[in-house]
Structure 1
Amino acid sequence: MVTEYGPVSIWSVVVALGVLTFSIRASFIYLFGRIDEVPDRLSNALRFVPPAVFAALAVPAFVAPEGAIAVVGNERLVAGVVAAAVTWYVDDVFATIVVGMGTLWILRFGL
Structure 2
Amino acid sequence: MEFYLVLGMSLVTFGIRYTVLGASDRIKLPPIVIEALRYIPPAILTAIVVPEVLIPDGNTIEFNYTNARLVGAIAAIAIAYWRKNLLLTIVVGMLTFFTWQWAIGN
Sort the TM-score into its range (normalised by shorter chain). Answer: 0.7 to 0.9
Amino acid at match of 1:84: I
Which residue in 2 is equivalent to 1:39?
30
Q: Deviations over 1:59-105 (max 9, x none)?
A: 11101110021112211011101100100010001111111111111
- Asked if 1:96 is matched to 2:89, the reply is yes
**TM-score when scaled to structure 1?**
0.70
Aligned residues: 94
Three-state SS of the structure 1 residue aligned to 2:73 is: helix
Which residue in 1 is equivalent to 2:62?
70
The CA distance in 2 between the partners of 1:24 and 1:59, in whole Å, is 29
CA-atom RMSD in angstroms: 2.2
Give 5+ residue unaligned stretches, structure 1.
Answer: 1-14
Structure with more contact order per residue of length (Cα contacts < 8 Å, sep ≥ 6): 2
Three-state SS of the structure 2 residue aligned to 1:34 is: coil
Give 5+ residue unaligned stretches, structure 2.
Answer: 1-7
**TM-score when scaled to structure 2?**
0.73
Shift in Å, 1:57: 1.1
Shift in Å, 1:42: 0.7
